[in-house]
Structure 1
Amino acid sequence: MPPKKKADDAAYRQLRKDISAGNLGNLYIFHGEEAYLRDFYLGEMKKKLLPPGMEAFNFHTMAGKEFDLRRLQDMVDSLPMMSQRTMVVVNDYDLYKGDKEGLVRFLGDLPDYVCLVFIYDLIAYKADARTKLAAAIKAKGQVVPFNRQGQDDLVDWISRRFRALDHDIGTEDAKYLMFLCGDLMNGLISEIGKIGAYAKGHRVTRADIDAVATPQLDAVVFQMTDAIAAGDFDRAALVLGDLLHMQEAPIKLLAVLGKQLRQLYSARLAIEHRKNTAYLMELWGMRNSYPAEKLLAAARRFSLSWCRWAVIRCGEVDLAMKSTAADGEGLLTSLLLELAVKQSA
């Protein structure tokens, strides 16, 4: 697997500076996984650009499925009322599949008083650098990706959110929360709210997190392989039973388990070749070190031969599940038993 490129946050950092300085431009394209940050900074832009109470006159929106260039032109031509600027937001319109020539002409005449924002939420932003439209966007505005945040920034943010609820959380427990529930802020906000309401003490503990947080599937499957490594087949079987009881599709569970086993194998190889956490992070495109550290710790409890065999066996079961009429739950349960028996042998 080729290493993933490190996310470029230069445009995001520049946007923050421009908002702080009140120096916002005419055209922005917002995209990326971190919807919380996108919505937050869109709100900050509105505060900077539009006087309170005048939003109805100076803020205009359009849904992508209703996009019409003439209607957008009318919005842009609406002069600001008791304000220096107007703001226009277009949601989920694929710029590169529409009238590109018309958009080039439109962007070339964009008035200075307008701040136009194209938001990509439900659809992906895929630019075509060969087109005149891409050149026009580059000349007139900024494309801002809202990427998943790095570990240190997220830990600081989680700490601030808990402080707002009159709680405190340690760095390692904040990392554990990210590992358990994912590293997207919108998902973490609800979990932080639940934990903050549940925790009795000022300091949030790991027990508080485990009591009420809803773990993501990858973290649950990791708990299953962790139990196998500890020789606790009953706990591993209990985790699988809970997942099946929640009606998770066996083929989906097998896919997540297969990824987990491949990661364990790569971690075991890293140990054999004296590679460190940074190597695993680059290999799997991880922005945070905590999952890589967990992988290395788990891999130390498995032999290289077991990891290799487990990956191969998982692939064989995947083929059987997809190409035969065999019961998916039965195949998955049998695989778990095989993994446990092989590990304890």
Structure 2
Amino acid sequence: MAPKAKADDTAYKQLKKDIAAGTIGSLYVFHGEESYLRDFYLGKMRQKLLPAGMEEFNLHTLTGKEFDVKKLQEMVDCLPMMSERTLIVVNDYDIYKGDKEGLIRVLSDLPEYVCLVFVYDLIEYKADARTKLAGLLKNRGSVVPFNRQGQNDLVDWISRRFRALDHDIGTEDAKYLMFLCGDLMNGLISEIGKIGAYAKGHRVTRADIDAVATPQLDAVVFQMTDAIAAGNFDRAASVLGDLFHMQEAPIKLLAVLGKQIRQLYSARLALEHRKGTAYLMEQWGMRNSYPAEKLMNAARKFSLSWCRRAVIRCGEVDLAMKSTGADGEELLIGLLMELAMPARDRR
């Protein structure tokens, strides 16, 4: 597997500087997974550009479904009222489709008082570097990706959010929360609120997190593989039973389990070749070290041949589930029994 390229956050950092300095530009494209940050900085731009109480006159919005170049031109031509700038926000319109020539004419002649932001939320931003529009954005605007944040930045953010709720949290427990609930801020913010309301002590504990946090599927399946690693079939079966009770589709569960088994195999290979956590993170494009460390620790409990056989069996069960019409739950239970069986080559 080819390592994922490190996300470029140059435009994101420049946006933060421009907002702080009050030098916000005229044309932006906002996209990326981290919608919490996107909405946060769009709010900051709104505060900077629009005087309080005058938003109704100086803030204009369009959705992709109602977008029309003529409507956009009318908004651009609308002079600000008791303000130096106007803010136009266009949500979920693919600028590389539709009337591109008309859009280029509007964007090429934006007045200084206009700040126009195209926001990609429900649709994916796919740039076409060969087009005039891409060149115009490069020269006159800024394409800002809001990427998932790195582990250290997220730990700091989680700590600040808990402090705002009059709690604190240790670094390892913050990493555990990210592993359990995912590393997107929009998901974490609600979990932090629940945990903050539940925790009795000033210091948030792992028990507080486990009591009320809603784990993501990957984390629950990891609990199952952890139980397999510990030779605890009853625990592994209990986790799988809970997932069935939650009506998770067997094919979806197998996909997550198969991915984790492949990651476990990669971790075992890394150990065999005396490579560390950083190597595993690079191979799987992981931004955070915590799940990689858990994989490396789990891999120490299995031999290379066990991991290889587990990968093969996951692939065979996947094929059977898709092609034979066999009961998916029965196939998964059978696979779990095979994986949890005390193998001769288990370390």
Which TM-score tier does this pair reach, normalised by the shorter chain?
over 0.9
Deviation sequence 1:145-200 (CA, Å, 0-9, x none): 00000000000000000001110100000000000000000100110011011111
Secondary structure of the residue that 2:313 maps to in structure 1?
helix
Q: Find the counterpart in structure 2 of residue 87 from structure 1.
A: 87
Alpha-carbon contact 2:231-2:342 (below 8 Å) kept: no
* Aligned positions of 1:128-143 closer than 5 A: 128-143=128-143
Q: Find the counterpart in structure 2 of residue 253 from structure 1.
A: 253
Runs of 4+ that moved beyond 3 A: 342-345
Q: Find the counterpart in structure 2 of residue 327 from structure 1.
A: 327
* Aligned positions of 1:1-345 closer than 5 A: 1-343=1-343
Instruction: Give distance in 1, aligned partners of 2:133 and 2:28.
Output: 14
Instruction: Compute the displacement of 1:228 (Å).
Output: 0.5
Instruction: Give distance in 2, aligned partners of 1:343 and 1:103.
Output: 64
Instruction: Compute the displacement of 1:277 (Å).
Output: 1.0
Instruction: Give distance in 2, aligned partners of 1:327 and 1:288.
Output: 36
Secondary structure of the residue that 2:270 maps to in structure 1?
helix
Instruction: Give distance in 2, aligned partners of 1:177 and 1:229.
Output: 22
C-alpha distance 343-122 of structure 1, shift in aligned 2 (>3 A)? farther
Instruction: Give distance in 1, aligned partners of 2:76 and 2:275.
Output: 55
Instruction: Compute the displacement of 1:98 (Å).
Output: 1.4
Deviation sequence 1:221-276 (CA, Å, 0-9, x none): 00000001101000000000000000000000000000000000000000000111
TM-score (norm 1): 0.99
Secondary structure of the residue that 1:116 maps to in structure 2?
strand
Identity in percent: 82
Deviation sequence 1:50-85 (CA, Å, 0-9, x none): 100000000000000110000010001000000000
Instruction: Give distance in 2, aligned partners of 1:21 and 1:338.
Output: 61
Instruction: Compute the displacement of 1:101 (Å).
Output: 1.2
Secondary structure of the residue that 1:174 maps to in structure 2?
helix
Instruction: Give distance in 2, aligned partners of 1:229 and 1:319.
Output: 25
Instruction: Give distance in 2, aligned partners of 1:223 and 1:51.
Output: 51
Instruction: Give distance in 1, aligned partners of 2:112 and 2:140.
Output: 11
Alpha-carbon contact 2:60-2:75 (below 8 Å) kept: yes
Counterpart residue identity of residue 200, structure 1: K
Alpha-carbon contact 1:306-1:342 (below 8 Å) kept: no
Alpha-carbon contact 1:90-1:117 (below 8 Å) kept: yes
Deviation sequence 1:2-52 (CA, Å, 0-9, x none): 110000001000000000000000000000000000000000000000100
Secondary structure of the residue that 2:60 maps to in structure 1?
strand
Instruction: Compute the displacement of 1:343 (Å).
Output: 4.0
Alpha-carbon contact 1:231-1:343 (below 8 Å) kept: no
Q: CA RMSD in A?
A: 0.8
Structure 2 alignment gaps of length 5 or more:
none
Secondary structure of the residue that 1:183 maps to in structure 2?
coil
Instruction: Give distance in 2, aligned partners of 1:51 and 1:136.
Output: 30
Structure 1 alignment gaps of length 5 or more:
none
Secondary structure of the residue that 1:118 maps to in structure 2?
strand
